[in-house]
Every structure is written in C-alpha cells, then in structure tokens.
Amino acid sequence: MNPRIHDWQGKRIWIIGASTGIGAETARLLLQRGARVALSARNESALQQLAAPFSAACVAPLDITDAASVSAVHARLMQQWQGIDLVLVVAGAYNEMRADSFDLDAANRILDINIRGVYHCLDVVLPELLRQQSGGIGIVGSVAGLSGLPKALAYGPSKAAVINLCESLFLDLRPKNIAVYMINPGFVDTPLTANNDFAMPALMTAPQAASAIVQGMERGDFHIHFPHRFTNWLRLARLLPYRSYFYLVHKVTGL
C-alpha cells in the first residue's frame, strides 16, 4: 500500500522516542544500513550514547509534550538537511490502570504523550511532506488499541486513537505520494513493559521489533504488526461475539 524501500543509504530519518526500546533499536538498525538519523527524546545522555558509534547520527533532544520544543528541533533539521524522508513517532507512555484505580493525572500524562505529542509532530512535519510530495510518516500504536484489554483504561484508548489517526492520514496522504505506516506491536521487552505482572504472550525483544518495523517499511506495508502469531490472533478474536472475546482475553492474560 506504500512504495517499497529498496535502499536506506543517505535517507534523512527523524526518530522521536529514540532513547530506549523500540525507538533506539530501530535507529541503530537504520544507521547500520546507511541512513542519516536524527535522534530525539528527552534523555539526551542516552541519545549521545546511541549516536557515539555513528557519524551519520544527529542528537536532537526534545520533549514531545512541548510543541515549541518539537518545532525548534524540526527547524534545526530542516536547516541542516533541507528536507526529511521519513519521520517515525515512537515515543509513548504506559502504565497499568483499571477502573478501581483510575487516576486522572496519570491518564492525562498518557494522553499528552501518546496523542497530543503525536499532533505536535504532525503540526511541523505535514506541511513539509506535502510540499515535497514525497517521504513518509510512521506512528507506533499498539495492538492494545485494537480492542479493550485489562489494565489499559488510559493506554488502550490512546492507542485506539493512533490507529484511527493513521487510517485517516493514509487516506489523505497516499494520493499525494506520501507513505503512512501504522505500527502496532504486541508485547515487546522494553522499559515500558518491564513492570507488567501478567503473562505477555509471544514477548519479543526490542531488536526483533525494530527488524519487523524496518522490514515492513521495506515491503511498503501500511499496517506493520508483530509478532503475527499473537497480533493475528487478537485481530481475528475481535470478530467474535463479545462473550467469546472477553472469555479468550481472560484465558490468555489471566486477568
């Protein structure tokens, strides 16, 4: 559904959320394949450590919840690169939340990063992509956005919004030769999932997730989801009547 990518050499890629986990490993993989990568996140020291072995890495710290911070980094990159070939918004927040432990402040923090932060990025990158009539944008959601899951009272709805957003972006941007990648991981071993106290089926490592993302973009996939043995099950299970779906979710997660 998107153009295939045959060569990363020299591609100008901005990864927002590159300090740890999926973002860091995706940045490392693309740098190894010859791309020029701007590394953004709040943790500048982690970005510097990631960038150290790569001359093509550019450290550009920001806070995705601060629109002015995102805009300033974008202006710097445009001055340096005169264009951007791919933007990957990987930054995300997660914490467990159930109805009996609802926390409005925590919910707003999740929404600030997972939704409002994405819009801060779109505000600066969409005009440039439309001007270029080329390039692409990828946003990391989650299979938790496909349907309701236990302990995801704030996280799940934020990722459901990302899924809806990516679908709308694709309809608007694909006719203009701009790629859109909707990236929905299953469980990945990262700092975000480290404190989960429930079974995580088909848990992947961050390097495995990065490889799946890069391969999906190379194939031109719109919906990049992994691992398939878990994500396809969840997508199919969602077609069941609610009674059966809730029963299966309970059996798989134990929650």
Tell me: the pLDDT tens digits for 7-39?
999 999 999 999 999 999 999 999 999 999 999
Q: Is the bond preceding 227 in cis, omega lying within 30 degrees of 0?
A: yes
pLDDT in tens, 53-91: 999 999 999 999 999 999 999 999 999 999 999 999 999
> Which of 155, 181, 242, 247 is flagged as catalytic?
155
Kindly tell me if the per-residue pLDDT of 194 is higher than 60: no
Measure CA 37 to chain center: 16
Q: Tell me how far apart the alpha carbons of residues 146 and 184 are, in angstroms, rounded to a whole number.
A: 9
pTM over 0.75: yes
Which residues 6+ apart lie within 8 Å of 231 measured at CB?
Answer: 143, 184, 186, 225
155 is catalytic: yes
Question: Distance between CA atoms of 84 and 80, rounded to whole angstroms?
Answer: 10
Helices 117-132/67-81 angle, 10° precision = 30
Q: How confident is the model at residue 192 (pLDDT cuts 50, 70, 90)?
A: low
Q: Which pair of tokens denotes residue 231?
A: 């994500």
Radius of gyration from C-alpha coordinates of the chain: 18
Average pLDDT, rounded, for the chain: 91
For residue 140, list its beta bridge partners: 183
Please say if the pLDDT value at position 189 is more than 60. Answer: yes
Assess contact for 193 and 228: CB atoms under 8 A. no
User: Within 10-66, where are the H helices?
Assistant: 21-32, 44-51
> Is the per-residue pLDDT at 255 higher than 90?
no
How much is the pLDDT for 240?
A: 75
**149-181, pLDDT tens digit by residue?**
888 899 999 999 999 999 999 999 999 999 999
Q: How far apart are CA 31 and CA 58, in angstroms?
A: 11
CA 18, CA 41: separation in Å to the nearest integer? 6
In angstroms, the CA 208 to CA 145 distance is 21
* One-letter identity of residue 1: M
The residues with which 12 forms a beta bridge, in sequence order, are 36
pLDDT of 62: 98
